[in-house]
Amino acid sequence: MDRTERFNKAYAFLKYEGVIKTQDDVARAMGAGRPNVSQALKGKETVLTDSFIIRFCNAFKQISLSWLLNEEGEMNAVVVPEFKSENTPQVMEGDVDKDVIEEQIRMTERIMELIRESSHTPTTFALHADIELSLFQRKIKGQAVWSVADVHKICDTFKIRKGWLVDGEAPKYRLPEEVLETIPARRSYDVGVPYYDVDFKLGFDIMGNNQTVNPDYLIDFAPYNKADAWCNASGDSMQPTISNGDKIALKEVRDPQSCLINGEIYAIVTTNELRTIKRVRDNGETITLIADNPKYGEQTISKELILKVFRVMGSVKMF
CATH number at residue 37: 1.10.260
Q: Is residue 82 part of a domain?
A: no
Q: Is 90 inside any structural domain?
A: no
Task: Please give the full DSSP string across 239-302, using - where no structure is assigned.
Answer: TTTS-TT-EEEEEE-S-TTT-PPTT-EEEEEETT--EEEEEEEE-SSEEEEE-SSTTSPPEEEE
CATH number for the domain including 226? Answer: 2.10.109.10
Domain boundary at 149, 167, 185, which? 167
Q: Considering its fold, how many domains does the chain have in total?
A: 3
- Would 218 be classed as within a structural domain? yes
pLDDT at 290: 92
**pLDDT score of 213 more than 90:** no
At 110 the pLDDT is 93
Same domain, 104 and 141: yes
Q: Which residues, 6 or more positions from 202, have their beta carbon under 8 angstroms from its beta carbon?
A: 156, 234
Instruction: Give the CA angle between residues 24, 74, 143 to the nearest 5°.
Output: 60
Q: Based on the domain organization, do 221 and 295 belong to the same domain? A: yes
Q: Report the amino acid identity of residue 241.
A: T
Asked if 138 and 37 sit in the same domain, the reply is no
Domain membership of residue 249 as a residue range: 193-316
If asked whether residues 250 and 149 sit together in one domain, one would say no
pLDDT at residue 209 tops 70: no
Please tell me whether residues 241 and 307 are part of one structural domain: yes
Does residue 113 or residue 187 have the better pLDDT?
113
Domain presence at residue 36: yes
284 inside domain: yes
Q: In this predicted model, what pLDDT tens digit does every residue of 265-285 receive, in sequence order?
A: 998 888 777 788 999 998 888
Higher pLDDT, 266 or 61: 266
Residue 92 within a domain = no
Considering the domain architecture, whether residues 214 and 260 belong to the same structural domain is answered as: yes
Whether residue 262 is contained in a domain is answered as yes
Q: Is residue 86 part of a domain?
A: no
Say which range, 165-169, 183-187, 261-265, 313-317, has the weakest mean pLDDT: 183-187
pLDDT (0 to 100) of residue 97: 53
Same domain as 305, residue 208: yes
